[in-house]
Amino acid sequence: MPNWNHIVREHLAVLRLPPEREIEIVEEQALHLEAAYENALADGLSEAEAEARAVQGYDWRLLECELSRAEQPLAARRSPAGLQGQVLQQFDVGIQTANRVAEAFVTGHKLAATLQRERQVKAIINGAMMGLR
User: The domain containing residue 93 runs over which residues?
Assistant: 79-133
> Which of 6, 52, 62, 58 has the alpha carbon at shortest distance from 32?
58
Instruction: Note whether 96 and 48 are same-domain residues.
Output: no
Instruction: Note whether 63 and 9 are same-domain residues.
Output: yes
What's the total number of domains in the chain? 2
Instruction: Note whether 13 and 67 are same-domain residues.
Output: yes
At 17, is the secondary structure helix, strand, or coil?
coil
d(C-alpha 133, C-alpha 122), whole Å: 17
Instruction: Note whether 52 and 24 are same-domain residues.
Output: yes
Contact status, residue 93 vs residue 69, Cβ threshold 8 Å:
no
pTM greater than the 0.75 cutoff: no
> What are the tens digits of pLDDT across the range 34-89?
999 999 999 999 999 999 999 988 888 887 888 777 766 544 445 555 667 777 77
